[in-house]
Amino acid sequence: MELLVIFCAICLQIFLTYKKVSPFLSLLFVAILSGLFLGMTPMMIIESMEKGVGNTLGGLALIICLGAILGKTLEISGAAERISITLIRGFGQKNIQWAVLLTGFLIGLPLYYNAGFVILVPLVFSIAKKAKLPLLYVAIPMAASLSTTHCFLPPHPSPVFLVRSFHADIGKTLIYGLIITIPVVIIAGPLLGRFMQRIKVNIQSFFLSEEKGLNRKLPATFPSFLIGLLPVILITTAVISGSFMPENALRTILLFIGDPTIALLLTSSLAIWYFGLRAGKTMETTMKWLSDAISGISVILLIITAGGIFKQVLQDSGTDQYISSFSERWDMPPLIFGWAITALLRVAIGSATVAGITAAGVVTPLVAAGGVSPELMVLAVGSGSVFGSHINDSGFWMFKEFFQLSLKQTFLSWTVMETTISVIGLLGVLLLDKIV
């Protein structure tokens, strides 16, 4: 009975998504109906909803909001653009793919996918035209690096949500994610891009008329790189000091400032001061950056919260124990099971974030039962969340329309790239599972 209810709940979520209902509302409806059909009383459902909101937002809201503030500040100030131009000039035309790859990776760490994509698309057109290179030869490494950081690495919404759901260590998740990300972006970026260069694409774009934007006064190179990468540096330092340093005052300080929330708070404040107030912007202007950043991710926060409620309902109804025993009867390794469930949801629903947070409710019992690394399960679900992107995914249409591709060309480029990231990511997780 439980399996049938879960199946119907997922089908309902897919149907509502297809009908363009907001994932926030649809996940709430699905959670409530699932609770009723799983035998929960109305009051039990209300308690689960309140508990789900608290558990989800407790350690999540600040990280996502602060990450958005940092990304918005880097975007508006031109720091992200400075990072891009510096890397491209440093690598030279012959290694342009690697320059774009690293640019996308560095910008993808603090920025959400859509923001990073919009920032880098004009640069991709400009590079392709000036260097007389096929458009997808340049575009695929950029898109691959942005997509990989989005699905694997905190402080992006889905990985942070999964970290909290599985009670994983965010520092270890970041380190494991970086280890897996390197081979994934190389294979799905420059190597795959070389095969994609045969796809003929019109290089004309309205972006090319805006190249004058590249001549505006940009921040200095060193602070742009330093502030953009500072959260990763602080979090990684905290993980290393916690593992190898003896108990002392320095270790305590490093662990404190390396906490993801504190690291992002310090970096966001530094970015606002350096790129805003120090550069002559008024306090009112810099605070508007903050407001715009938070309003831009408010819907994402609501969707994640609704996903947390759905997960809590499945847990409080006792379905988690059933799922755990069901997966054992399937005799499927937990990491592969988590990836497969998420991949199916991704193909059906379209949104990587919604697929990840929906799968969390199904997969959490496997992590709670032990025998699998919570950090690796975060990455396995993250890998599954980018599998087989097609016409029900907004990212698919962004890539198609910005680069003026046909549907066939988009399937042969974007969909193949996303699927490659997913499969290679799973292989990396399974390999890492053997080592750690």
What pLDDT is stored for residue 211 in this prediction?
43
What pLDDT is stored for residue 209 in this prediction?
44
298 versus 130: the higher-pLDDT residue is 298
Q: What is the DSSP letter of 351?
A: -
What pLDDT is stored for residue 214 in this prediction?
47
Total domains, the chain: 1
Q: What contacts 277, CB < 8 A, 6 or more positions away? A: 283, 286
Residues 202, 434: Cα–Cα separation, whole Å? 45
246 φ/ψ angles, rounded to the nearest 5 degrees: -75, 165
* 40-98 pLDDT per residue, tens: 999 999 999 998 888 778 767 888 788 888 888 888 888 877 887 887 788 877 788 99
CA distances from 90 to 93, 103, 105, 142 (A): 9, 11, 16, 17
* 238-289 pLDDT per residue, tens: 878 887 888 899 999 999 998 888 988 999 999 999 999 998 899 999 999 8
CA distances from 236 to 149, 173, 318, 333, 402 (A): 16, 10, 37, 29, 35
356 versus 272: the higher-pLDDT residue is 272
Q: What contacts 321, CB < 8 A, 6 or more positions away? A: 365
Tell me the pLDDT band of 323, cut-offs 50, 70 and 90.
low
Given a cut of 60, whether residue 367 has pLDDT beyond it is yes
- Angle at CA 389, nearest 5°, toward 159 and 137? 100
Average the pLDDT over 310-338 and give the result. Answer: 75
What pLDDT is stored for residue 207 in this prediction?
45
3-state DSSP assignment of residue 187: helix
Tally helices (H) and strands (E) across the chain.
22, 0
Look up the domain containing 54 and give its range: 2-435
Average the pLDDT over 386-399 and give the result. Answer: 82
What pLDDT is stored for residue 256 in this prediction?
93
Rg (CA), the chain: 22
- Percent of the chain beyond pLDDT 90? 33
Residues 210, 126: Cα–Cα separation, whole Å? 10
412 versus 407: the higher-pLDDT residue is 412
What mean pLDDT value characterizes the chain? 84
